[in-house]
A and B are shown apart, each in its own frame.
Chain A
Amino acid sequence: MKEKDNIKNLPGGKDKRNPFSVPEGYFDNFPAKLADRIQKEHPPEVSLKSRLWDTIRPQLALAATITAFAVIGYFGFRSFMDTSEEWLSDEMITSYIEYYQYEFSDPYLLGLLAEEDFDFEYYPEDYGWEVSDDPDLYIDYLYQEEVDLYLIMTEF
């Protein structure tokens, strides 16, 4: 009879104990289980920018490495090849000439040029010397200077 009364009063009654149960620790473990499933089925979306960056990053790294090697190689080779010569800037050359300009005399310069086997044209007029078309004058000069005519003829 008591059971009948309880049944009659069930909707809105007091005995509303949940008759279902779950495996032990189910609610403690559920968030982790769900997170695993989400990670597998729906990995976080990567933006287009990130994907593009991920794609080109290895190529960029390779290009940067090659460029670095090329630059190092170029300067290394140049440095190796230039050990016997000193590289002077235009300013340094100008200063050097300005400093030594009074040290240079014509004979000194001619001597230097002759030493360096430098090909140059010699114009006596540039030095204020008179030039004559009379060959006898030259022969007399060479005779006075005791230059061997035979030697001149064989050389020229």
Chain B
Amino acid sequence: MQEHSDSELLSLFRDPGRKSYAFNMIVRKYQERLYWHIRKMVIVHDDADDLLQNCFIKAWKGLDSFREESKLFTWLYRIATNEALSFLKEKKRKYFLPVVDVESELSANLEGDEYFDGDELQLKLQKAILSLPEKQRLVFNMRYFDEMKYEDMAKILDTSVGALKASYHHAAKKIENIIKGD
């Protein structure tokens, strides 16, 4: 299937007769990247699935007023990031759990997850990543796994490139120490 550019998809979306078709194309283009971005934060597939749907529903409602001041990709990533962070925040509030306990729960979910195919080394790495503060975890995942440019990350997370580099450096160091400590 021919992949349309973002501006082509947005033009199609503004045509009332082709709105659904264009949105379907947008979903197909970005669903995997957004899913993995969310999944690495919330670990459990079902939660990631719910959040991905919420993310695209917000996009469906907001795309009419999207003025292309940022790239579509950046805008969608920002929605997905906010969805994941809100979910984790709500989880902590709902169960009155301190941060450490939520991370322990996520870690436990990881071990029992039928959709986790990693070996022992990868399990160790994921557990180490889960020990990081949420925002550091986010930065680490985006840089390490998605290999995203700091400039793009800065637009998504609305922060400076310098702050992101420092955050990634600290995260990597912590992970290294945690794994070494094992």
Q: Judging by beta carbons under 8 Å apart, are A22 and B117 in contact?
A: no
Interface residues of B (CB under 8 A from A): 20, 24, 27-28, 31-32, 35-36, 39-40, 45, 49, 52-53, 56-57, 60-61, 113, 115-119, 121-126, 140, 144-145, 168, 171-172, 175-176, 179-180
Contact call A10/B57, Cβ cutoff below 8 A:
no
Which residue of A has the minimal Cβ distance to B146? A16
B174 to chain A, nearest CB (A): 10
Q: Which residues from chain A contact B119 at a C-beta distance below 8 Å?
A: 19
A120 CB within 8 Å of chain B: no
Task: Collect the chain B residues with CB atoms within 8 Å of residue A15's CB.
Answer: 121
Q: Which are the 7 A-B pairs with shortest beta-carbon distances? A: A19-B118, A11-B172, A19-B122, A7-B179, A21-B115, A31-B27, A21-B117
Give chain B residues whose Cβ lies under 8 Å from the Cβ of A17.
118, 122
Contacting residues, chain A, for B126 (C-beta < 8 A): 19
The residue that B27 contacts in the complex, of A6, A8, A22, A30, with Cβ under 8 A, is A30
Q: How far is the CA of A18 from the CA of B40 in the complex (A)?
A: 10
A8 surroundings in chain B (CB, below 8 A): 176, 179-180
* Chain B interface, DSSP helix/strand/loop, else mixed: helix
A78 within 8 A of B: no
B144 near A11 with CB under 8 A, answer yes
Given contacts A7-B121, A16-B145, A19-B117, contact A41 B27 (CB under 8 A): no
Shortest distance in angstroms between A81's beta carbon and chain B's nearest beta carbon? 55
Contacts of B53 in A (CB 8 A): 33-34, 37
- B-facing mask of A35-60, CB < 8 A → 1, else 0? 10110011000000000000000000
Q: Is A27 in the interface zone, CB < 8 Å from B?
A: yes
Interface check A126, CB cutoff 8 A: no
Among A6, A11, A35, the most chain B Cβ lie within 10 Å of the Cβ of A11
* B52: chain A residues within 8 A (beta carbon): 30
Whether a CB of chain B sits under 8 angstroms from the CB of A3 is yes
A124 at the interface (CB under 8 A from B): no
* CA–CA, A3 and B126, complex, Å: 15
